[in-house]
Amino acid sequence: MAHNISYNSQTGNYSFFSVKEKPWHGLGQVVGQYPTSSEAIKYAGLDYQVAKSPLFTKGSEFIVTREGIEVGSTELAVPDCFATIRTDSNTVLGVVGKDYHIVQNREAFSFFDAIVGGGEGILYETAGALGDGERIFITAKLPDYIRVGKGDDVTEKYIFLTTSHDGSGSITAAFTPIRIVCQNTLNASLRSMSNVVRIRHTSGAKQRLEDAHKVMGLADRLSTQLEGIFNEWAKVKITDREVKKLIQLALCPNTETLALIKKGAEDEVSAIFKNTVEDAFAYAMASESQQMETAKGTLFGAYNGVTGYYQNVRKYKDGQAKLQSIVMGGTAQGKAQKAFELCSAFKSDGAEILNLN
């Protein structure tokens, strides 16, 4: 599989680290113990600064200048436009407006440290940069677990944070539980609560601290509620036919396909959709993690059939595409949310919610 992990030609290192687990595609550094935030920044190659510099034009070309460089009289300033520059390599990362506030990589880690007063109780597990360093991400493991059944089906609790230096989006922090047995991300937003907090780059340090505590409060409430929901789902039996129908509805790509499914004309749907459903159904029925008592023939297992397909079966063009799809609001996260809503409806209303013929 291709990757988009940032490579530093000056150091000869990839910008990624992982604790104990093999890093993406065999690149980056594996460390034996959980690092402090300052160690994690170095391990991940994130110990660089980003500066905001004016943009100038010369003829039809844009010229990026750093402070201290004189600009000739034939060069015109671009109003309210600035380039973000990685200062260790002078690489241009993006173009932003005058109100854009750079959040340095070290500040992103301090977001976590601020929650727990220096980092005790929060474990930095992965961190890295994508592209030329214009996007960074951090995953930190929280204490305790979500336990389903008798306790042997365990989901670890993580906060995933990503931010960009190219003006492409806000700082995003999300509560992201991962089922250990299959490394399956179980993202879900309840009707009354999102699992994501978005922070503007124009926000001040005080606001970001408040947002950090908001994320932790969200994680505490969501983990408690999800543990209750997953344990209820593990008690609800569901037939193979119902699992397949749930997968069809969750993965349905458009209204035309949905209409065909609802009227029972499954032979008329596209071959691509049929194959996708079959692959997800096979994972739901046969994967090792789905043979556990909590998942086999249960509603919890049906939900894992959808989420596990995108995490463990679906092919992506590169690591960044997978990251975007699963935890940054992409297709996989949207389909998982649909599956969550269908499972919730099934628990309340039974099989009729699937419109089985």
Chain-centroid distance of CA 253 in Å reads: 21
Packing angle between helix 319-327 and helix 299-312, nearest 10 degrees? 150
Give the residues across from 57 on adjacent strands: 62, 76
- Rounded to whole angstroms, the Cα distance separating 41 from 128 reads 9
For 143, other C-beta atoms within 10 Å of its C-beta total 10
For 228, other C-beta atoms within 10 Å of its C-beta total 11
Classify strands 184-185 and 171-179 as parallel, antiparallel or unpaired: antiparallel
Contacts for 93 with CB less than 8 Å, ≥ 6 apart: 50, 83, 84, 85, 86, 132, 133, 134, 165, 166
pLDDT for the residue numbered 73: 45
pLDDT for the residue numbered 70: 44
Classify strands 29-31 and 16-19 as parallel, antiparallel or unpaired: parallel
- Rounded to whole angstroms, the Cα distance separating 338 from 188 reads 9
In one-letter notation, the amino acid at residue 257 is: T
pTM summary value: 0.80
Contact 208, 111 (CB under 8 A): yes
All residue ranges of the chain with pLDDT < 50 are 1, 67-73, 118-119, 356-357
Give the residues across from 140 on adjacent strands: 124, 159
Instruction: State phi, psi for 77 to the nearest 5 degrees.
Output: -70, 140
- Rounded to whole angstroms, the Cα distance separating 232 from 19 reads 33
285-318 residue pLDDT tens: 988 888 899 999 999 999 999 999 988 888 888 7
pLDDT for the residue numbered 281: 92
In one-letter notation, the amino acid at residue 112 is: F
Instruction: State phi, psi for 168 to the nearest 5 degrees.
Output: -85, -10
pLDDT for the residue numbered 71: 47
- Rounded to whole angstroms, the Cα distance separating 152 from 347 reads 23
Packing angle between helix 299-312 and helix 331-349, nearest 10 degrees? 170
**Residue/partner pairs of 60-65 with CB below 8 Å, 24 or more apart:** 64/92
pLDDT for the residue numbered 236: 92
Give the residues across from 117 on adjacent strands: none
